[in-house]
Amino acid sequence: MIWIALIAVLLAGVVALNVAVLQLNMRYDKLGRTKVDLVAQNADLESQLSSAAATQRIQQQARAQLGLVAADPGTTRYIQLDH
């Protein structure tokens, strides 16, 4: 009779251990998906930062070294050249 109770306790332990492992795997999978999303967001932000820094740096250098300023869109006119 004792061996039946012992087997039942051992089986309950195995089931509990399997449930714990399943929960950890689910948490690990969720963390993996979160990591992928964060890496993609980080790459996008780095790209935006690089683009913004490059444009701003070019404008600053053009202004400082060459005295260039951005054209006023309201006064810009286009002409058509015949070839």
How is residue 75 annotated by DSSP?
T
Give the per-residue pLDDT at 77.
Answer: 86
Give the per-residue pLDDT at 1.
Answer: 82
Cβ-based neighbours of 69, under 8 Å, separated by 6 or more = 63
Give the per-residue pLDDT at 72.
Answer: 87
> Where do the domains of the chain lie?
1-68
Predicted confidence (pLDDT) per residue in 27-42, tens digit:
999 999 999 999 999 9
From first CA to last CA, the distance across the chain in angstroms is 105
Give the per-residue pLDDT at 27.
Answer: 97
